[in-house]
Amino acid sequence: MPRLSLLQQQVIESPPDIKLFLRGMAGSGKTTAGVERMRYLLAQGIPANSILLLTPQRTLQEPYLDLIYSPERGAGGEVTSATIGGLARRMCDLFWPIAAEAAGFKHPEQPPIFLTLETAQYYMAYLVRPRIEEQGFFQTITINRNRLYSQIIDTLNKAAVVGFPYTEIQSRLDAAWFGDPAQRNVYGDVQECASSFRAYCLEHNLLDFSLQLEMFTNILWHHPQARDYLVSQYHHLIYDNVEEDIPLTHDIIRDWMKDFQSALIIHDNDAGYRNFLGGDAVTGAALSELCDQVVSFDESFVSSNPILELSDGLFSAILSSERRLPFTSDDRAFDILSAHYFPEMLDQVIEKVLQFINEGVPPSEIVILAPFLSDALRFSITNRLGAKGIPWRTHRPSRSLRDETASQTLLTLSALAHPHWNVHPNKYDVAHTLMFALNTDLVRAQLLADIVYRQRDNKLSTFEEIKPEMQERITYALGERYTTLRTWLMNYRESSPLPLDFFLRKLFGEVISQPDYGFHTDMDAVRVAASLIESIKKFRNAMEPSYVNMDSPSFDLGREYLSMLADGVIAAQYLESWRNEDKDAVLAAPAHSFLMMNRPATIQFWLDPGSNGWVERLSQPLTHPYVLSRHWDASQGRMWMDSDEVQADKAALARLVSGLLHRCRERIYICISELGESGFEQRGELLRAFQKVITQSNP
C-alpha cells in the first residue's frame, strides 16, 4: 500500500454510505485515494459486483485495474469498470428488443451490429463518396477524405454527447458562423451526410457511438426494466476524471446519484483536456452539489516547489493576468537547450537524455513531448535514441495502423497470399516486407526482392532459381528463411482462403514469430500485430452481417479492409499501446497524449515551444467543439469571432501547460531552435510566455 496522507486516509476510510466529491490539482493523490477507497470497500465485505468504476476513457482505469486483477481480490464477482460508451453498448445489446423499435430501426427482430470508429468511417465513406464525386459536395474545403469522414462522425457524436437532436447540426453551426458565405453550404452538406448516415444505420441495424448513446439516454434510461437493472446492480460509484467526461454522462450520474449508497467523484482542477471530444469540466464540477461533502487536496506528491511556481507563472503569463508570482526558490525549474537548426537541437536533447540515464535516472522517467508527433519527427527522435542504445517507445493515438512497419509487413504478405484480391504490391513494399519479416538488412532484402518478385504476376520465385553467386551475396541463411516463408504462402494459396484475421494469426504463429524471424523478439511489432488483428476482427464482425456490396461477386472483406487503410481510415484506439507504462523506456509522444496517460515523469523535454501547434487547435471545417457545446448560446445571434478563438486557444494552452508541469517531478527542458521543425522562425505563444517568466525571474 502506498504511503498516505491523513486527508487521503480520511477519504479512503469514510463510511460506506457517504457521497464525496474530491477535487485537487494533478499529482495530489486523488486517484491513489480512489484506488485505496475501492480496496477499503472490498475489505469491508462490500460485493465487488456492486461497485461501478466509471472514467471518461478506458486508459484512465489502469491504476484501478491493477487492483481489480490483482491476486488479492476476493472470490465472487468483480468490479465493473466502464465508460459511458461501454455502458451504453452493454445496455443496447442487453435490452435490444425493448429499444430497437422505439429508436426507429427497420428490423428490430434482427440483432444489432455495433460499429467501431473504423467501420463507422467505412459506411460513412460508402455514403459520402458518391456525393463528393457526383454531386459536388464539400467543393470549397481541402482536407483528406479520411478527415472529412471522421469530422462528420464527430459532429454526430457532438450532438449525442451534448444532448441536442442531430437534425440541428446545420442550424447550430450556421448560426455562429462569421465569414465566407460558402461555408454555410458546407454545413448543409454536413447535415445531409449525417442524416443519410443515420437513416442508413436505422435501415441496417447499425449502431455507431452516437446512436448507442441516444438509445441509452433517451430510451433505456427512462425504461423501468432497464433502469431497474442498473440501479439494483450497482450501489457504490467511483467516478474518476469527471472533468474529462461528456455532459451526457454527468446528466445520467446526476439522475442516478440518489440511488447510490456511496459515491466518490474525483475532479482534476484546471484540467479539461478533452473538450475537443465533447468533455465538459463545468457540468462535471456541478456534480459536487449532489455530494454530502467536498474534499480538496492541495498538496502535490509529484511536483517540486520550483515546478509548481513555474506552473503558476506560466499560467499567469499565458492568460495575460496582472497577477505575478515571484520565484522564491533558488533553483529554477527549467533549463533551455538551444540551437540554430532543429536537428542540432534534437542532438542536444538525446545527449542530455543519455546523461540523465548514465546518472541513474530510469528511462521510463524521461519523456520527450511535442505539440504533434509527425512521422518525420518520430523517426528523427527514435533513430537518435536507438543509435545511442537508449530504449524508447512512442505513442500517437492518431497514427494509422498502415503507417506501422509491422502492419505494412503483414498486409503486404496478405496481398501476396491472396492473388484473387488483384492487389499487386510494388517492389519497394515487398523489399521492406522481406527486410522486416526475415530479419535482415535492406540491401539484401532489396536484392532478393528484385530477383524473386514479379509484380505483374504477383508471384515469388524460389531461392534455388537464383544464380549461385547471387545466393552467396544474399546468404544461404536468409535464403532458408525466405524459402520457408515462400513455401508457406504457396501452400496457403492452394487452400481455401481464411478470414483475414484468421490468416494473420496462422501466419504469425507458424512462421514470422519463430526464431530468427522479424517478429520473434520485437515486442513493439507484436503489439502492432495484435492491434491490427483486433482491428480486422472488429471490421469483419461489423461487416459480415450486412455487406454493403453483397451483390458484387468479387467483394472480399480482406481486400476491402486493405482499401480502407489505403484511404487513410485510422484504426480505433487499442489498449495494448497504453499498457506499457512500466516499460523502462524513454517515451516520445504528443503532449495531449501524455496527459491522458495520467502518469508523472521526472524529466520532461518540450520540443519546438515556438510552434503554434502548442496553442492552435486543429482545423475542423465540418464541426466545432465550442459552438457545439452546452455553453454556447446561439439563440441570441452570437457568432464565433476571432477573439473567441484566441481566448479559447489561450485557455487551452494554460490548461495544457499546467497539466504537464503538475506531472513533472523535477525539471523541464525548453528545446528551442532558431528555425523550428518546419524551418520557420520561432514566435509561438508558449515561447512568449516563457520569455515573460524569464524576464520576471531575472529582473
Tens digits of per-residue pLDDT, 29-82? 999 999 999 999 999 999 999 999 999 998 889 899 989 888 766 666 799 999
pLDDT tier for residue 617 given thresholds of 50, 70 and 90:
confident
Residues 562 and 655 in one domain: no
Answer with the residue of higher pLDDT: 619 or 103.
103
Q: Quick one: 338 and 408 in the same domain? A: no
- Residue 508: predicted pLDDT: 95
pLDDT confidence of residue 398? 61
With pLDDT > 70 as the criterion, what percentage of the chain qualifies? 91
Computed over every residue of the chain, the mean pLDDT equals: 89
State whether 349 and 483 are in the same domain.
no
- Domain boundary (567, 599, 621) is at 567
Q: Is pLDDT above 60 for 327?
A: no
> What is the number of other CB atoms lying within 10 angstroms of the CB of residue 333?
23
Query: Are 546 and 616 contained in the same domain?
Result: no
Predicted local confidence at residue 233, as pLDDT: 95
pTM: 0.86
Q: Are residues 595 and 544 in the same domain?
A: no
Mean pLDDT of 167-196: 91
554 — pLDDT class (breaks 50, 70, 90): low
The answer to which of 138-147, 150-159, 491-500 has the lowest mean pLDDT is: 138-147
Under the banding of pLDDT at 50, 70 and 90, the label for residue 180 is confident
455 and 546 housed in the same domain = yes
- What mean pLDDT is predicted for residues 104-108? 94
Alpha helices in 468-588 (DSSP H): 468-474, 476-493, 500-507, 523-543, 557-566
Could you give phi then psi for residue 584, rounded to 5 degrees? -85, 75
pLDDT category at 678 given cuts 50, 70, 90 is low
Per residue in 359-383, pLDDT tens? 999 999 999 999 988 878 988 999 9
Do 273 and 181 fall into the same domain? no
- Look at residue 395 and tell me whether its pLDDT is greater than 80: no
Average pLDDT score over residue span 403-425: 91
Assess if residue 273 is contained within a domain: yes
Say whether both 558 and 435 belong to one domain: yes
Say if residues 312 and 643 touch (Cβ distance below 8 Å): no
Q: Which residue has the cell 434482427?
A: 110
For 182, 426, 509, 523, 558, the CA distances from 402, given in Å and listed in that order, are: 34, 15, 21, 18, 14
Residue 280 resides in a domain:
yes
pLDDT at position 325 is 47
Per the domain annotation, does 436 fall within a domain?
A: yes
Is residue 24 one of the residues assigned to a domain?
yes
Q: What is the pLDDT of residue 328?
A: 47
pLDDT confidence bin for 484, thresholds 50/70/90: very high
Cell matching residue 562: 486493405
Q: Are residues 405 and 525 in contact, defined by beta-carbon separation less than 8 angstroms?
A: yes
Out of 177, 208, 239, a domain closes at: 208
Q: Which domain holds residue 457?
A: 402-567
- Indicate whether 218 belongs to any domain: no
Same domain, residue pair 440 and 546:
yes
Separation CA 468–CA 481 (nearest Å): 17
Least confident interval from 47-51, 145-149, 322-326 = 322-326
More confident residue, 614 or 633: 614
Whichever domain contains 614, its CATH number is 3.40.50.300
pLDDT over threshold 60, residue 278: yes
Q: Are residues 444 and 535 in the same domain?
A: yes
What is the mean predicted confidence (pLDDT) over 234-242? 97
pLDDT higher than threshold 80 for residue 320? no
- Do 410 and 386 fall within a single domain? no
pLDDT at residue number 552: 52
Let me know whether 421 and 544 are in one domain: yes
Q: What pLDDT does 272 receive? A: 80
- How many structural domains comprise the chain? 4
Distance CA 51, CA 78 (A): 8
Q: Is 303 left (phi over 0), alpha (psi -120 to 50) or beta?
A: beta
Contact 210, 88 (CB under 8 A): no
pLDDT reading at 329 higher than 50:
no
